[in-house]
Amino acid sequence: AQTVTQSQPEMSVQEAETVTLSCTYDTSENNYYLFWYKQPPSRQMILVIRQEAYKQQNATENRFSVNFQKAAKSFSLKISDSQLGDTAMYFCAFVGRPSGTYKYIFGTGTRLKVLA
Amino acid sequence: EPEVTQTPSHQVTQMGQEVILRCVPISNHLYFYWYRQILGQKVEFLVSFYNNEISEKSEIFDDQFSVERPDGSNFTLKIRSTKLEDSAMYFCASSEEGVEQFFGPGTRLTVL
């Protein structure tokens, strides 16, 4: 079964600094997708960034980028120039379809606090 | 930009009562999902729905749960006899092709 591990329950970073959130996963599949979602206090799930496993190039989205290491099954999120609005819970998600249906497997989340 | 909507935003119910959570997926999407997040925990898959039938369900999705797409736009989750442990945030999601799922704002269910 697929599992997703986020080993940092809480992190903090100074405004304008860079922070990296870690995520590891376990799967026997070769084709899958990885996502980072942001969940602010409103609890809405907001897509931050997406990575296809077949792509070697790391995804970037403005201040957000990932370090995808397929062999190591690692998918970390780097937030550059951190802003107060980045304060939120961040969930890593693995998407595969071992039984024919795509479904998301989420990690336990990292609570990020950006300090002024 | 099209978005998934959910109603109500907060539902309070007594244990043993039936609740129906409603979702309006994005109009051209074909895949529909329900997820649950107990307070302070991770988001968990409940069920996926495609072509008017359940395509996969988790162990959480027991006989107390059912889903329906009663018309061309709504997607509902029914809990027949709520328990205290059903208190959670319930997220609906929809997808055009299955991979990228768009989440609604969630319904907070409180069972007293």
Q: Please state which of the four CATH numbers 3.30.70.2190, 3.40.50.2000, 2.60.40.10, 1.10.260.40 is assigned to the domain occupying A3-115.
A: 2.60.40.10
Q: Which of B89, B98, B102 sits opposite A102 (nearest CB)?
A: B98
CATH number of the domain within which B63 lies: 2.60.40.10
Which chain A residues are Cβ-neighbours of B89 within 8 angstroms? 43
- The residues in A 16-45 lying below 8 A from B, measured between CB atoms, are 33, 35, 37, 42-45
How far is A103 from chain B, CA to nearest CA, in Å?
7
Ordered alpha helix ranges (H), B18-97: none
Query: Does residue B61 lie in a domain region?
Result: yes
Each residue's pLDDT, cut to its tens digit, for chain B (112 residues) gives 788 999 999 999 999 999 999 999 999 999 999 999 998 888 999 999 998 999 999 999 999 999 999 887 899 999 999 999 999 999 999 999 888 899 999 999 999 9
What is the tally of structural domains in chain B? Answer: 1
User: What mean pLDDT do residues A90-96 have?
Assistant: 93
User: What mean pLDDT do residues A89-106 have?
Assistant: 87
Strands (E), A72-116: 74-79, 88-96, 103-106, 110-115
Domain that residue B45 falls in:
18-95
Query: Does residue B37 lie in a domain region?
Result: yes
Q: Residue for token digits 């008017």?
A: B52
Query: Does residue B13 lie in a domain region?
Result: no
Query: Does residue B7 lie in a domain region?
Result: no
Nearest to B31 by CA among B11, B6, B56: B56
Measured between CB atoms, does A89 come within 8 Å of chain B? no
Answer yes or no: do B43 and A101 touch at CB < 8 A: no
* pLDDT tens-digit map of A11-69: 999 999 999 999 999 998 888 999 999 999 888 889 999 999 999 899 999 999 999 99
Query: Does residue B82 lie in a domain region?
Result: yes
CB A76 within 8 Å of CB A20:
yes
CA distance A27 to B79: 32
Query: Does residue B3 lie in a domain region?
Result: no
CB A88 within 8 Å of CB A40:
yes
b/e string for B83-100 if b means 16 or more Cβ within 10 A?
Answer: eeebbbbbbbbbbeebbe
- List of residues 6+ apart from A48 with CB closer than 8 A: A35, A36, A37, A38, A61, A64, A77, A90
